Chain A
């Protein structure tokens, strides 16, 4: 990936999302809350998710991280708001699968496609999938408990 290509992707989606992340505020008292934390780099976001009838009704987050992890978390929350837990689990699995495979096989919206394109930005895949993996982990644990 050339520097110009990376800059174009940053300009189009990452920097605006980083500057104006979706629902970036702490919301105490939500039905679900957990950390998306990478101890290797220190990126740490807290997700506040309110689940009503198995649907993510309202979603918020706060914390500290790089532009990619922050933008990715923001995009994840936009994606799952109003979505059932089952659908959210499916989209997380599909997104992570496309990130970790050599080639992207599924199409997403523009901003998620940008994130997947940035997997070729060396060393940043963990930043992209941080919140997605944390949510998936929560859903899988809940599935097991349920």
Chain B
């Protein structure tokens, strides 16, 4: 079954389907790098029960397309797919999957890492952490897609 390259939606993520979609029909490809982000049971000293993800879906999808465009510029031979799950996600379940495909491993790894770093910078999604004794909204980066220093930082990490 065909899946979109970019998705922000409820429901379990399917790495195999996304991998198939990203890798399809390109005999020149030689490397697939994947990333799966999982909900873990601890954070900043708290025992996490589950996470509830909220998204501004149309802008999140737009921001993910922007990241894909950035990757096309930085690594023209590399293609990525990203699915981010929303709603309640239990410990051990995947919240995000990323697939990067390239003729060679270096660009596949770099694009995969770049994608997750940029997701954390500019994609309007929020974790509502439910832990033993309470709940808290996690707040990370002030999203500014035009902040070139943030983009450069993500690129440096990706290529480290």
A, B in one complex: no
Which residues of chain A have a CB within 8 Å of any CB of chain B? none
Which residues of chain B have a CB within 8 Å of any CB of chain A? none
